[in-house]
Amino acid sequence: MNEKTLKILEKYYGYKNFRKGQEKIIESILEKKDLLAIMPTGAGKSICYQIPALIFHGITIVISPLISLMKDQVDSLRSIGIEAAYINSSLDNDELKEIFYGLKNNKYKIIYVSPERLDSKIFLEVVDAIDVSQIAIDEAHCVSQWGHDFRVSYRKIGSFISRRDNKPVITAFTATASLEVRNDIVRMLNLNDPEIFVNGFDRENLEISIIKEGRKERFLKEYIQKHSDISGIIYCATRKDVDSIYEEITNLGYQVGKYHAGLKDMERKEFQDMFIKDKINIMIATNAFGMGIDKPNIRFVIHNNMPQSIEAYYQEIGRAGRDGEKSECILLFTPGDIHLQKYLIDTGLRSEQRKIIAYKKLQDMASLVYSADCYRKYILNYFGEEAIDNCNNCSNCLSEGEVTDKTVESQKVLSCIGRMKSGFGITMVVDVLRGSKSQKIINYNFHTLSTYGIMKEYKKDELIAFVNTLISHGVIDQVEGTYPILKLNNLSVKVLKGEHRVLLKEAKVKDYGFKENNLFNILKEIRFSIASEEGIPPYMVFGDVTLKEMSTKLPETKEELLEISGVGEIKCDKYGFKFAEEIRKYIIENNTIKSNNDVNSINNKKFYVNSDENLYQKLRNLRETIALKENKIPYSIIHQNSLKEISGRYPLTLEELGDISGIGPKKIEAYGRDIICIVKNYIEDNNLNRNWQVKGRLKLVIDGEERENEEIVIDMLNEGYEISEISNRTEISLSTILGYVTEYIKENGEILFKLNIDNLYKKEEEEEILMACKRFGVEKIGEIKKSLDPRIKYESIRAVILKNYYNIV
């Protein structure tokens, strides 16, 4: 990388190294190539076009959709000594004249404009007369009709670009874009043979939870009580819900904000400013709020309703943890969310084509919610990024909360629906179960049913929530219509016959993991004071990550401050002495000794387990039996490492089983009791004394094996094992093994072992795969797979790529 770019990065932004993907993108822009960059929220998109802007001779125009985004970006640039301005409808004539004068006299390096400004005659005359080196389009997905946030104003950008005689570099950035959206962006923006960077969609610091138990109001109250001191957003589908939740939380004594299109402009702006400047911690809003909000320390995003698309959902949760710190993303789902979003699509869109697109995206979102697999893997695969392993950081992978057997209660509900015969909705069924004496119940003779009043101990809202939970778990079907009705299905029959147990997990609100030390809180107060004086958001002084590092490394001099990530020369000179002074004072008052230990060393702690071979074999036998019954591959039931961990830790309850790696609520529901039964009998038969310890998130080491999977695979290949034998022994898929080999070659240049891969694909498949590789590039495995015959496997794709692109024969 050009030494000049690194110096700019450190001087202005305070970082010594680029984040993943930034370096290659900046190199491409400096080579004056058009590009499309898809980078997850918080990955540092703005630096990618801002650093070239400082190097290019002319000006960079950034087209951005929201006024709040422009102002924040310009304020941030000015705070680090970079001349910038924005042009939008918030400026008066005098302010516009001043900025146009500055443009003509080369005052600015970066100018932000709204897409609506592109048909302004005055603006076009000024821009035509100046040297424009780069046009950067932020939130580029807005140009596509397939995008979740399509905006007609973005269609002006293509003609704005084409009107220039000397075409500048065109750079487009977005956080979420499917293949259709990417193609639309390239076409609509007239990108010339663009480089396309997909910098990964994964945000590992975000814990994704989807809760389907139905008690939204209670969950929100409990969550706010435990997390009112950290920053978060609660998204609602309608203005009515925003107002209702705002009132409820305010009545609990918490100061929160709200944001939707029905509020007056000044009211929205006031709430938004208070949130950005840390004067309030929680914002309740429709999806009108958030695009362009650059606040890095949002620790949670809660969706009170299911969004209309995976793109919208992933962009909205991407507003959490932009600073890389651990954050929570929670979706509270009930089946009614789907009906609500269909209604909003029907009433909000005129174009039938747009409706068809919206319905398809809504179905994709519903499929995510109902998925029993890893949520993160589902999302990444949706965006064309191959994800094979579970993330162990979503509610389908983790087991939080107590699993309870609700089979008897479910049988009561199902029996009632069956006895009512004609289709009725949730409310009617609940009224019968609770023994309502309404005239409607009497007219239908439902008071004579044996199920009448058998659940009268339940409150109405609790029972409605329980029925919704059964629907979301597929135990009951809800038939759509003007008045949705309940219907029994095949799973309902199995539950009624006692052939299937209904095990439900009640969501448990967790205490937030990051505990702030006292110095961190002191530094936050200093930051807040500086920000208030300057009228800027606190994060523009220093981010939470920077203050956290200060509070552990205790810098007292300018040299030590410049070693802190996020402290550049300009900010150090501007603010540094105030923080260093307070740190020195803290060290003296608390007799603190500086430590050079890595602040993240706690993350390197390990949890050691020695497996019990005899119990392990019993568990394998159980797995074989289940696999035969379900016609599945054994390791797809439960991986051998999970069985080894169980054999060495001896869990005796479903809750303890939830602390085993790779055992989520679905597996607990399906196999948990059988596993616990085997463990319990084994302990009793062998008179064992167990010492149960909670593992939590510590790194698991089984039987002393500390190597990562990829190291084990490469070592076995070097020892002469065939990949099929490695797969059988490790229970790692062939595709994953070949992926490890590919990464090893990229890093080391060659392999010293033999690799027999010809038997993994057919000749006709090879030709089809190679055509897809030319179309998408060999890195886009997920997109290649999507475009091929479904019968072609991932390992076949990887084998063909290794043969033809890495010369593995």
Cβ-contact 34, 170 below 8 angstroms: yes
Contact 54, 82 (CB under 8 A): yes
Quick one: pLDDT band at residue 602, thresholds 50, 70, 90?
very low
Element (H or E) spanning 386, and its range?
none
Task: From 382, 415, 449, give the residue that closes a domain.
Answer: 382
Among 408, 404, 412, which Cα is nearest to 430's? 412
Name residue 259's amino acid. Answer: Y
Kindly provide the b/e burial profile for residues 300-311, where b requires at least 16 CB atoms within 10 angstroms of the residue's own CB: bbbbbbbbbbbb
Tell me how many degrees the CA angle 158-161-162 measures, rounded to the nearest 5: 85
pLDDT at 215 exceeding the cut of 80: no
Q: Is residue 47 part of a domain?
A: yes
C-alpha span between 171 and 190 (Å, rounded): 11
Which sign, positive or negative, has the C-alpha torsion 767, 773, 776, 782?
Answer: positive
Mean pLDDT confidence for 530-542: 86
Instruction: Summarize the confidence of residues 334-359 as an average pLDDT.
Output: 83
Q: Is residue 387 part of a domain?
A: no
Query: What is the amino acid identity at position 667?
Result: K
Q: What pLDDT does 384 receive?
A: 74
Domain assignment present for residue 391? The answer is: no
The confidence score (pLDDT) of residue 513 equals 47
Question: Where does a domain end: 153, 170, 198?
Answer: 198
Q: In what order do the strands lie in the sheet with 231-235?
A: 206-211, 327-332, 298-303, 231-235, 282-285, 256-259
pLDDT, tens digit (0-9, with 9 covering 90-100), for 51-109: 999 999 999 999 988 776 788 888 888 888 899 999 988 888 898 899 999 998 989 99
Q: Which domain holds residue 642?
A: 606-702
pTM for the structure as a whole: 0.57
Cβ proximity of 28 and 35 under 8 Å: yes
Q: Kindly report, residue by residue over 255-277, the tens digit of the pLDDT.
A: 899 999 889 988 988 998 899 88
Q: Is the dihedral of CA 526, 276, 140, 778 positive or negative?
A: positive
Does residue 411 form part of some domain? Answer: yes
* 246 and 119 in a common domain: no
Strand 485-488 vs strand 476-479: parallel, antiparallel, or unpaired? antiparallel
Q: What's the pLDDT score for residue 603?
A: 43
Residue 725 is assigned to a structural domain of this protein: yes
Mean pLDDT of the chain: 85
Query: What pLDDT does 170 receive?
Result: 94
CB crowding 729-739: b at 16 or more within 10 Å, else e: ebbbbbbbbbb
Give the pLDDT confidence of 604-639 residue by residue, as tens digits: 568 899 999 999 999 999 999 999 988 888 888 899
pLDDT score at 147: 60
Residue 473 has pLDDT above 90, yes or no: no
pLDDT in tens, 569-592: 888 888 888 898 888 888 777 766
In a domain, 390, yes or no: no
Residue type, 104: K
Confidence label for 597 from pLDDT (cuts 50, 70 and 90): very low
Statement to judge: residues 590 and 615 lie in one domain: no
Segment of 322-336, 438-452, 502-516 carrying the highest mean pLDDT: 438-452
pLDDT digits (tens, 9 = 90+) for 775-792: 878 877 877 887 888 889
Can you give the CATH number for the domain in which 488 is found? 1.10.10.10
- SS3 state at 478: strand
Joined tokens for residue 434: 């609770």
Q: Is the pLDDT score of 601 beyond 50? A: no
pLDDT of residue 591: 65
| CATH classification at residue 107 | 3.40.50.300
- Tell me: the pLDDT tens digits for 298-326? 999 999 999 998 888 988 898 898 888 88
- Tell me, what's the pLDDT at 402? 62
Do 241 and 372 share a domain, yes or no? yes
Pair (262, 243) in one structural domain:
yes
Residues 156 and 259 in one domain: no
Mark whether 72 and 181 lie in a shared domain. Answer: yes
Q: How many domains does one find in the chain? A: 6
Share above pLDDT 90 across residues of the chain, in percent, rounded to a whole number: 33
Pairing of strands 327-332, 298-303: parallel
C-alpha span between 255 and 250 (Å, rounded): 6
Tell whether 335 and 372 lie within a shared domain.
yes
Q: Containing H/E element for 716? A: helix 709-718
| pLDDT confidence of residue 681 | 94
Q: Residue 227 pLDDT more than 90?
A: no
Partners of 64 in beta bridges: none
pLDDT score for 7: 87
- Please check whether residues 222 and 119 belong to one and the same domain: no
Cβ contact 456:432 at 8 Å: no
CATH number assigned to the domain comprising residue 542:
1.10.150.80
288 and 372, same domain (yes or no):
yes
Mean pLDDT of all residues in 2-30: 87
**What is the DSSP pairing of strand 503-505 with strand 403-405?**
antiparallel
What pLDDT score does 514 carry?
Answer: 47
Q: Which residue has the tokens 């609700």?
A: 406
The reply to whether 393 falls in a domain is: no
Residue 640 lies in a domain: yes
Q: Nearest-CA neighbor of 99 among 70, 76, 79?
A: 70
Average pLDDT of the residues in 660-675:
84
Sheet-wide strand order for 110-113? 84-87, 110-113, 59-63, 132-137, 169-174, 35-38, 195-198
Is residue 1's pLDDT more than 60? no
Asked if 340 contacts 221 with a C-beta cutoff of 8 angstroms, the reply is no
Q: Are residues 798 and 724 in the same domain?
A: yes
- Do both 598 and 612 map to the same domain? no
Confidence of residue 796 (pLDDT cuts 50, 70, 90): very high
Question: Of 682, 702, 722, which marks where a domain is finished?
Answer: 702
CA dihedral 155, 159, 161, 163 (to 10 degrees): -170
**pLDDT for the residue numbered 395:** 83
The first and second tokens of residue 61, run together, are 């125009």
pLDDT at 257: 93
Same domain, residue pair 713 and 790: yes
